[in-house]
Amino acid sequence: DALTDVAIGVLVAGATHSLAATQLTGQVYSFGSNGTYQLGHGTREDEHTPRLVSALHGIHIVQLAGGEHHSLAVGRGGVCYSWGAGEARERTSTWVGGWLGHRTMEDTLLPRQIDALSGVHVVAVAAGSRHSLALAKDGAVFSFGDGSGGKLGHNDGEGMHWVPKRICMLDRVRVGAISAGDTHSMCSLRDGCVLTWGCGYALGLG
């Protein structure tokens, strides 16, 4: 087994795939379904056992997130990477995208740095079904992808955001953690409070 006798520091589950980073060196392994390149190996072949993501070799990964169609990673220096499908058909049969943050609907077969977050020290990421969140060291939160239901938190309609955009509504609070679901998003503040936004049914408001 590829992970036998290897201490794992980060372990996350996407919709149909899994990601793990070793504790000592931060090397990333992925396994599971790979129909949308979410494993980061440059192919669409499923992996039944953990396989090293060679494109991240030499980068100490400290945070991971797995969505339905994509994956996210953060290096020890705060650099954020994404890979997977650049677009997907929404349940309403419309095409949506943007959750990779690369300003395109093109698939990203291998982990790629999100240029729009250059200069931002990212400490945590969250991957929803069709959107992504990133938390900066200074507490700022960025969101990108499909904005239907208001899950991006920008109060600017329900369109798509192709690159990470800072959620200004959170600028006056101190965010400590983030989470992304299928139709909503959440964050916890450093004082213990929890804030939610997005689809009212997912938030228990329906």
- What pLDDT does residue 116 have? 97
Residue 159 pLDDT: 83
pTM, whole model, 2 decimals? 0.94
Question: Other CB atoms closer than 10 Å to residue 153's CB: what's the count?
Answer: 25
Residue 96, pLDDT score: 82
39, amino acid identity: L
Sequence-separated (6 or more) residues with CB below 8 Å from residue 64? 10, 11, 12, 19, 20, 21, 28, 71, 72, 73, 74, 125
User: Which residues of the chain form beta strands (DSSP E)?
Assistant: 8-13, 17-22, 28-32, 47-52, 61-66, 70-75, 80-84, 87-89, 95-97, 108-113, 122-127, 131-136, 141-146, 160-166, 175-180, 184-189, 194-198
Task: Check residue 36 and give its pLDDT.
Answer: 94
Q: How many Å separate Cα 145 from the centre of its chain?
A: 10
- The residue with tokens 């992970």 is 3
Q: What is the pLDDT of residue 206?
A: 44
Q: What is the largest CA-CA distance in the chain?
A: 49
Q: In which residue ranges of the chain is pLDDT below 70?
A: 89-94, 202-206
pLDDT value at position 91? Answer: 58
What pLDDT shows up at residue 90?
A: 61
